Structure 1
């Protein structure tokens, strides 16, 4: 039986200040900088869960819902949602806060996947992720469908083999 760890034990919170070097000519945070920070915070969550070095395997859709301005304080939160044999899905939420005005908005949300590696750079088994509250259970349940979609889009799974997705759309044979 695989070792188990609570998903809450992988939780990471990271804070950044948007400085001039982080922005474009409109004084908005550059998307590449945002994705860099998202990759860091989610990698730390995956490392906490696996106690291993991890590499980014995939990045799901990253939509920019709200622009982030120069001077905003960014809070990134990440947590493993589910672990498979050697990979882990991590959910990231990004909040932008304008401290002088007292406003805070959710700017971004995404799922990143990481693979744990041993000392020789080979994929290694990771502990099972155990969800404990309603939100964690919901994300855990959806992780298999998201994984199957990633595998199909990456050419590593045939759509006919994606039983979780077929069930979602009632496409049973």
Structure 2
């Protein structure tokens, strides 16, 4: 019987302070900095689910919805939303919070694919995920469509080279 793990086991939360070196000439956080934070939390999330080291296979979608500025607190949350044989899709959302007003704003959402690897760096099987919240269930149901889209993009990209 296939091992199954609830999505809540993988849920990971990080909090970061936006500092001046994190920002661009417009005073907002660099997109690349946000991407690095997203990749890190996705990796931790996938490692918690799989119990293995992981590598990033793809960043399928990143939606920059608003920006954070110096002094804002950035809250990131990741959860495994679907699994393949050796891969895990991780949904990450980032919200910024103004400390003075306590107002929170959704800044970024992303879906990444992480692959579990063994000691030799070879892909290794992962447990199936059991979605719990309505959002997780919706993302779980659409996982196959996202996988097919990734495969189409990869084939197209190979033809371009």
Normalised to the residue count of structure 1, the TM-score between the two structures is 0.87
The residue aligned with 2:155 is: 155
Q: Tell whether 2:9 aligns with 1:23.
A: no
The residue aligned with 2:133 is: 133
Q: Which moved more, 1:126-135 or 1:52-61?
A: 126-135
Separation in 1, partners of 2:60, 2:119: 27
Separation in 2, partners of 1:61, 1:11: 19
Q: Deviations over 1:72-104 (max 9, x none)?
A: 100000000011000000000000001112211
Q: Which moved more, 1:1-10 or 1:45-54?
A: 1-10
The residue aligned with 1:63 is: 63
Which structure has more strand as a fraction of its residues?
Answer: 2
Normalised to the residue count of structure 2, the TM-score between the two structures is 0.93
The residue aligned with 1:37 is: 37
Query: Secondary structure of 1:61's match?
Result: strand
Query: Secondary structure of 1:122's match?
Result: coil
The residue aligned with 1:87 is: 87
Query: Secondary structure of 2:137's match?
Result: helix
Question: Is there any run of 5+ residues in structure 1 with no aligned partner, and where?
Answer: 157-173
What count of residue pairs does the alignment treat as equivalent? 156
- Per the TM alignment, residue 8 of structure 1 is displaced from its structure 2 partner at its CA by 1.1
The residue aligned with 1:146 is: 146
The residue aligned with 1:5 is: 5
Q: Relative to structure 1, is the Cα distance of residues 61 and 132 closer, same or farther in structure 2, using a 3 angstrom cutoff? A: closer
The residue aligned with 1:108 is: 108
Separation in 1, partners of 2:25, 2:145: 39
Question: Is there any run of 5+ residues in structure 2 with no aligned partner, and where?
Answer: 157-161
Query: RMSD of the TM alignment (CA)?
Result: 1.1
Separation in 2, partners of 1:58, 1:46: 13
